[in-house]
Every structure is written in C-alpha cells, then in structure tokens.
Structure 1
Amino acid sequence: MTVIADTKTDMIGKALGLLVLLGDEPRGASASELSKLARLPFSTTYRLLGSLTRDGFVDYDPAGRLYRLGLRVFQLGQQVSNHHGFAGTAMPILQRVTDVTGEATILSVRDGDRHLTVSKVDGPRTFRVTSDPGHLGLLHTTSVGKVLVAFASPEDRHRLVEELELTALTASSITDRDAFRGEIARVRELGYAVMDEENEVGMRAVSVPVMNAQGTAFASLAIAAPIFQLTVEELLAHLPLLQSAAAELAAKLPHR
C-alpha cells in the first residue's frame, strides 16, 4: 500500500510539473518537447497529458499537435484571485493609481524564490508592460521583488539575500552579492525599491510594500513605465500615491 500511495503522489507531482511547464509556453508545446523539458519518458508524458486534457486542465490542438493550458486552470486561478481579494478588492485600487499616473500598476506576491504577478492595470498608452497576471519573475532584478525580499521575515530575508541566484537579465542587473546586500539594505531604509532597466531594457519601475500586522510584506505594489515616458525622479514623485494605495490594500486584502 505504501508503494502505491507514493507512486500516485509522484504521478500527481509529474502532472503538476507539466502544467507549470505549459505555463511557460504560451504558444503551446508538443508532447515530445514537454517530455524533454520534464525529463520524463515520452509514454508517461503522453499518458499524463491525455488525463489532463480529458479533465480540462490542458487543451490539445490536433492541427499543430500542441498542448496548452486549459480553461480549468484559468477557472481555478480566478477562484484563488477572488479568494485573496486580488480581483474584486485590489483591481479598483490599482485602477485609481493608473488613472492618476497614466502608467501600469502591478501587484505581486512572493512565490518561493520568484515574484508572482497577481493583478495588473495597463495604462491608456499603446505601450504595454508585459508582466501579466500569472507571470513569475526574478526577485533581484525587479522593484517588486526587491521589496518582497527587503520586507520579508528576518529568516526569509537572510536566506534570500545570501542564497538567491543572481542571474543577469540585462547589463544593469545586480549580480554581485555585496551589491545585492547593499541594495536590500537601502530598500529597507528608504521604504521603496526602484528598477532601472535591470529586468528589461527600456523599462523602469518603483515599488512599495503592502504590509501585514507583523511588519512583513505580503505583497508589493508597483508603477512601471518605459524609460522614454518617465525619469526615475518622475516615478518617485508618485510615491505618496503608491504608498497610500498600498496602505489601502493592506487594510482590505486578506493577509497571507
């Protein structure tokens, strides 16, 4: 009995792993591609994809022989969003910020060693910020991520500062451990974080923490804009508005 239970648990983990991989493939992926990415036998991958397709978690396009995330995943994601207040509660607050700034407003939470975008309101301009809800990003290259590290619990903050992989996404990304320590210390001192082309060339952002009663950030709120639209100083001029919105979110959102 123990062996069967472990096998079932392992298969569930493999199926969930395929869903995660498909989340990184918006155009879809074939069974053979997913098999290689997941390091699973093709027969196992094909069987799991069949089960996931049957239950609506995955869609299959027979013309291109590609698999994509299905509407069942979207449904569950919406339920999570509603449960945490990201849709009904957070969106009007984000919309008010965007109405004033004319730029994208983004709400993120920490998901392990990444940040997860949970809500976003685009600005009225044609240029779109690409961090849509569901996007997983790096902590050290983003303003939302720096805030989530700086205002994490002392134990989490120490681990992230000392052990987070400092991958370079642009020439401006922080890759030196001492520089990262100094950056997180500055964010804690100032109460906000700036991203200046560290995560994506041509983009800037400023973020503030959304704090719980214990004084740790359970979310991070950002304004993001292309560098040709706002200087760093112009972004920082919106800090009072962003901090006011973060305080409102802290009062209204369920704390995690």
Structure 2
Amino acid sequence: MADETRTGTRIQSVSRAAQLLMLIASLPEAERSVNRMAAELGTSVPTVYHLLNTLVDAKLLTRDERKQYRFGLAMEVLSVAYAQQTVPPPELVAPLRRIIEDTGESAYLTAWRNGNPVVLAHLSGTHAVQVTNLRPGYRGVANARASGKVLLAFAEPDDRERYLAMHPLTAVTDRTITDPDVFAKELAQVARNGYATEVEEFSAGVACIAVPVWRNGMLMGCYTVSAPVERYRKQRTGYLTVLRDAVAMLDEDKDEDEET
C-alpha cells in the first residue's frame, strides 16, 4: 500500500510558495531578482510576482525601498519557534539509523538551539563496548566536543564570537583545548577539512568524529560517531565516509520529493 503521507493531496501553489521561500533563503540578497527566481523555479515571472505579493501580505516577506525581497516579521516568529524546538525533524534522525547500522557505534544529532550546541537525538550502537556519554538535551563545553567544534567552525562569525564570549574554554580532561589561539586554529582546520575530531578531550577512552549537515546552504546541525579510542583509530576513515554518506541521504530524499 502506498504511503498516504507521500501520495495524499497536495496544493501546488502552497508547494511553490514553500519552494520560493527556500530559494530566497539560499540566494544572496543581490541575486534575488524575479527573473532569477522564475528561472530557478521553472515557472513564469507573473506567477512569481503573485507568490511574492501573497507572501508579503502574510508578513513572511517584505519588500524594501530598493525593491529587494527580504524575510518579514512572521518569518522571525517561525525562526524563533524552530530554534526552541527540541524534537528534531524525522528526516534528520533517519540517517542516524544508517550510521549505527554501518558502524555499530553510537551516533548523535546536534544543532544550535537558543545559542547553544544541543544534542537533539542519540541512538546507541550495536557493539558490545559502547560509549553513551551524551543524551538529548545536553549542552555545554562545545570546545571539548567534535560536534561543538563543527557547529562553531561553520557558524556565522557573530554567533561564534557571541558563544565564545559567554562560554570560557573549559577543561574537561587534560586533553581539552583551552587556549583561545590554539582553539581558533582548530576551528580553522575544521572549516578547511569539513569535519571535526576529538580524542579523549571530552571523556577518557572515547573519541568522536563529526560532520556538518547542510540543507539549501543552511547549517542544520551535525552528525557524530562516538567510539572507544582504539576502535576509532582503526576505523576513523570508515566512520568519516559513513557520516558523509548519511548527509548525502538528505540530498537524495530532497531529490525524490521534488520528483514526486
């Protein structure tokens, strides 16, 4: 039987409006011309104008004196509500199951919530020896966590500086980075590599590796694999491949939705 949630009635105009909002979010402000948006959406210029005017009336968008479209007050309300939501979207949790199936290790989903890197989901691995240091709702000591390093490395500069100004680099183990200059170099390396690691910086005998999760150019969070140090050292490359494959699953699901 077909999944009714995927085959039920859809309203095309609502779908196009949602696609338009996502497109605007992914485009630099200077490139948000109506012609560009019509071309990207594969629809006519008049249709885009109709959609834009409707979204402006709903306060989801606003049009400034230069005729540039920006997000409106209603979008701020939605953004705040999303940032306070502690239950992650199912589509972000599904790849965690693939991670533990392929690695046997514990896996986490972490994201920014109210200015803090917060663990949103955790699935235990299948290996006899597991590490389960973190639970949903955990926040703090981002400098000692691979997930914290990823979220800080790819955060907007103002958000990163604000977090670091309010949260001193605290030592959790004797391996935790607490020197600001050293930590800045660590974040720069994370940004270059596209992933972060930590070996016994948060918990003795435990190592983690994390990758960012992007959707439409926006940082949605990060996936992390946590393992005993010795197993991590032997399989680190494999863990990284699995994590990146998990992120790629989200793009595959997006393509399937667009074809539906």
Q: Distance in 1 between matches of 2:166 and 2:93?
A: 34
TM-superposed deviation, 1:163: 5.7
TM-score by length of 2: 0.59
Do the aligned partners of 2:86 and 2:137 also contact (CA within 8 Å) in 1?
A: no
Structure-to-structure mapping, 1:178-217, within 5 angstroms: 178-214=181-217, 216-217=218-219
1:246 aligns with 2:247: yes
Alpha carbons of structure 1 residues 114 and 226: separation in structure 2 relative to 1, 3 Å = farther
Do the aligned partners of 2:116 and 2:163 also contact (CA within 8 Å) in 1?
A: no
Do the aligned partners of 1:223 and 1:235 also contact (CA within 8 Å) in 2?
A: no
Find the counterpart in structure 1 of residue 158 from structure 2. Answer: 155
Alpha carbons of structure 1 residues 250 and 151: separation in structure 2 relative to 1, 3 Å = farther
Do the aligned partners of 1:113 and 1:138 also contact (CA within 8 Å) in 2?
A: no
Q: Distance in 2 between matches of 1:173 and 1:113?
A: 21
TM-superposed deviation, 1:129: 1.4
Do the aligned partners of 1:162 and 1:177 also contact (CA within 8 Å) in 2?
A: no
Find the counterpart in structure 2 of residue 62 from structure 1. Answer: none
Q: Distance in 1 between matches of 2:99 and 2:114?
A: 28
Q: Distance in 1 between matches of 2:227 and 2:109?
A: 15
Do the aligned partners of 1:115 and 1:137 also contact (CA within 8 Å) in 2?
A: yes
1:172 aligns with 2:172: no
Larger helix share, 1 or 2: 2
Q: Which runs of 5+ in 1 are unaligned?
A: 1-78
Structure-to-structure mapping, 1:92-107, within 5 angstroms: 92-107=94-109
Do the aligned partners of 1:91 and 1:121 also contact (CA within 8 Å) in 2?
A: no
Write the deviation string for residues 95-134 of structure 1: whole angstroms up to 9, x where unpaired.
Answer: 1111111101110012345321111111112434121212
Do the aligned partners of 1:211 and 1:250 also contact (CA within 8 Å) in 2?
A: no
Alpha carbons of structure 1 residues 109 and 251: separation in structure 2 relative to 1, 3 Å = farther
Percent identity, aligned pairs only, is: 29
Q: Distance in 2 between matches of 1:228 and 1:155?
A: 37
Question: Hey, which bits of structure 1, 4+ residues long, moved more than 4 A?
Answer: 79-82, 250-253
Q: Which amino acid aligns with 2:243?
A: L
Worse overlay, 93-102 or 124-133: 124-133
Structure-to-structure mapping, 1:77-88, within 5 angstroms: 80=85, 84-85=88-89, 88=90
Q: Which runs of 5+ in 2 are unaligned?
A: 1-83, 255-260
Alignment partner of 1:115 out of 117, 141, 148:
117
Aligned residues: 170
TM-superposed deviation, 1:219: 0.3
Do the aligned partners of 1:210 and 1:250 also contact (CA within 8 Å) in 2?
A: no
Q: Distance in 2 between matches of 1:250 and 1:219?
A: 15
Q: Distance in 2 between matches of 1:228 and 1:112?
A: 35
Do the aligned partners of 1:114 and 1:138 also contact (CA within 8 Å) in 2?
A: no
1:223 aligns with 2:256: no
Q: Distance in 2 between matches of 1:121 and 1:137?
A: 20
CA RMSD across the alignment? 2.5
Alpha carbons of structure 1 residues 157 and 188: separation in structure 2 relative to 1, 3 Å = same
